[in-house]
């Protein structure tokens, strides 16, 4: 029987329990996948902790690479033996699982299982952030928080590839060195550098057209002060906690600012959009424009250790669980 990590009650990393599971045959539109590598994302922590709600019990995780083991009666797009990847489908922390065929994309030959699992969710997120939420262009100066993180490291490299000057924030000098080697022209360390002041200096007092903020509570208000008039605040995560309610007239006082809270579901609503996003991710990885760093690997059964590392800000780049 295969195993999976299951959450029976929300809480700390100890709620991630290694259990035997029963996986049936794939139904219509489904594929059974023997998974090899599973990506860990900060959103997995929100679900485990109960910040995002999900009926209990559940298997966490949202992205993985695997080999098709069996297909449902009407599935013609895939066959047993195909190597595929998905993101945004809850239930990834498992050795074997059922996945809707429509969510699966074939992994190109040049991309290994662990790189596929490390980059799909983070890369698709970076893709819509810098190509759709705000189209980063040559000559832009932008601010990326948590630039050494999973999404941050991909986004910084991708924005640099598009011709932007990238200002990144991180929490340590080691992370600053890493991001300077991966897309960031300026690496600012929380507690040492005042990022509002530096952004103002670098932009000649004008401010940036876009801030990508995944930290939330601790950075949100200061991020607004980094924007130029009519700039776009992209709040796409909350690793420090949710942003408390605030008076919306702040956006007027700080320069007619725009604010968006983008999600993958809204940007990848159709099969065509998933394929388009995945292709762009594969292209930037295969061209070398975006280097994927798997700086932490764990056995699937040790998912709790992966969560402890991620939420204590010890990690850089991607974390992968090996099934
Ligand atoms: N909207 C979407 O569709 C979408 C999709 C994917 C990811 N996300 C969001 O993007 C963010 C990044 O996800 P990820 O998986 O790549 O994680 P990550 O960036 O690798 O990890 C989170 C990082 O946030 C920073 N951080 C600042 N304050 C923190 C705190 N109090 N606790 C923990 N971390 C803190 C840390 O970097 P420093 O130590 O360098 O500050 C940490 O490494 C998350 O907020 C996630 O929810 C959103």
Where residue 19 sits, what CATH number does that domain have? Answer: 3.90.180.10
Q: Is there a domain that residue 131 lies in?
A: no
Region 36-63 average pLDDT: 97
Residue by residue, what is the 3-state secondary structure of the chain?
A: CCEEEEECCCCCHHHEEEEECCCCCCCCCEEEEEEEEEEECHHHHHHHHCCCCCCCCECCCCEEEEEEEEECCCCCCCCCCCEEEEECCCCCCECEEEEEHHHCEECCCCCCHHHHHHHHHHHHHHHHHHHHHCCCCCCCEEEECCCCCHHHHHHHHHHHHCCCEEEEEECCHHHHHHHHCCCCCEEEECCCCCHHHHHHHHCCCCCEEEEEECCCCCCHHHHHCCEEEEEEEEECCCCCCCCCCCCCCHHHHCCCCEEECCCHHHHCCCHHHHHHHHHHHHHHHHCCCCCCCEEEEEEHHHHHHHHHHHHCCCCCCEEEEEC
104 and 27 share one domain:
yes
What's the predicted TM-score (pTM) here? 0.97
Distance between Cα 44 and ligand 1 center (Å): 11
91 and 164 share one domain:
no
Distance between Cα 313 and ligand 1 center (Å): 9
Q: Select from 261, 279, 295 the last residue of a domain.
A: 261
Q: Select from 239, 261, 283 the last residue of a domain.
A: 261
281 and 182 share one domain:
no
Region 119-125 average pLDDT: 97
> Domain span at residue 42?
3-120+270-322
Q: Is there a domain that residue 53 lies in?
A: yes
Query: Residue 86: what pLDDT?
Result: 96
Q: Select from 261, 283, 306 the last residue of a domain.
A: 261
Residue 37 banded pLDDT, cuts 50, 70, 90 = very high
Return the best residue to mutate from 147, 189, 237, 243 for the ligand 1 pocket (most ligand atoms within 8 A of CB).
237
Q: What is the average pLDDT score of the chain?
A: 97
Residue whose CA is closest, atom 28 of ligand 1? 240
Tally the domains of the chain.
2
Query: Residue 66: what pLDDT?
Result: 98
Separation of alpha carbons 99 and 64, rounded Å: 11
Residue 124 banded pLDDT, cuts 50, 70, 90 = very high
148 and 237 share one domain:
yes
Per-residue model confidence as pLDDT tens digits over 277-297 = 999 999 999 999 999 999 999
Query: Residue 304: what pLDDT?
Result: 98
Percent of the chain with pLDDT over 70: 100
215 and 171 share one domain:
yes
Residue 181's domain is classified under what CATH number?
3.40.50.720
Closest ligand 1 atom to residue 318 Cα is 20
Per-residue model confidence as pLDDT tens digits over 146-163 = 999 999 999 999 999 999
Q: Is there a domain that residue 129 lies in?
A: no
Closest ligand 1 atom to residue 147 Cα is 40
88 and 15 share one domain:
yes
Residue whose CA is closest, atom 31 of ligand 1? 240
Region 86-110 average pLDDT: 96
Closest ligand 1 atom to residue 175 Cα is 40
Closest ligand 1 atom to residue 263 Cα is 3
Residue 139 banded pLDDT, cuts 50, 70, 90 = very high
Query: Residue 230: what pLDDT?
Result: 98
Q: Is there a domain that residue 126 lies in?
A: no
Residue 221 banded pLDDT, cuts 50, 70, 90 = very high
Q: Is there a domain that residue 177 lies in?
A: yes
Query: Residue 27: what pLDDT?
Result: 98
Ligand 1 environment, Cβ below 6 A: 41-43, 121-122, 125, 146, 148-152, 170-171, 175, 214-215, 218, 236-240, 262-264, 310-311, 313, 315
Query: Residue 179: what pLDDT?
Result: 98
Closest ligand 1 atom to residue 152 Cα is 19
């Amino acid at each position: 029987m295969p195993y999976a990590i299951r959450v029976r009650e929300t809480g700390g990393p100890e709620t991630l329990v290694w259990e035997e599971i029963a996986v049936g045959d794939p139904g219509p539109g489904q594929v059974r996948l023997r998974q090899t590598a599973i990506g860990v994302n900060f959103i997995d922590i929100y679900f485990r902790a109960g910040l995002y709600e999900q009926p209990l019990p559940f298997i966490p995780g949202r992205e993985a690479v695997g080999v098709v083991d069996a297909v449902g009666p009407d599935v013609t797009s895939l066959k047993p033996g195909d190597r595929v990847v998905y993101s945004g489908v809850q239930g990834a922390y498992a050795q074997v699982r059922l996945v809707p065929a429509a969510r699966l994309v074939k992994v190109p030959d040049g991309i290994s299982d662990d790189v596929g699992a490390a980059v799909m969710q983070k890369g698709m997120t970076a893709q819509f952030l810098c190509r759709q939420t705000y189209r980063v262009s040559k000559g832009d100066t932008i601010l990326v928080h948590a630039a050494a993180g999973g999404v941050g490291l991909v986004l910084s490299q991708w924005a640099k590839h598009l011709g932007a000057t990238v200002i990144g924030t991180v929490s340590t000098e080691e992370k600053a060195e890493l991001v300077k080697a991966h897309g960031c022209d300026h690496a600012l360390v929380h507690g040492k550098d005042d990022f509002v002041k530096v952004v103002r200096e670098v932009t000649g007092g004008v401010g940036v057209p876009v801030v990508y903020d995944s930290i939330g509570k601790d950075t949100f208000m200061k991020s607004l002060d980094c924007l130029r008039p009519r700039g776009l605040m992209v709040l796409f995560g909350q690793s420090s906690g949710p942003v408390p309610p605030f008076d919306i007239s702040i956006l007027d006082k700080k320069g007619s600012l725009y604010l968006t809270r983008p999600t993958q579901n809204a940007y990848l609503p159709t099969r065509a959009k998933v394929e388009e996003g995945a292709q762009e991710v594969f292209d930037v990885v295969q061209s070398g424009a975006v280097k994927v760093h798997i700086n932490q690997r764990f056995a699937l059964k040790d998912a709790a250790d992966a969560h402890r590392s991620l939420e204590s800000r010890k990690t850089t780049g991607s974390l992968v669980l090996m099934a």
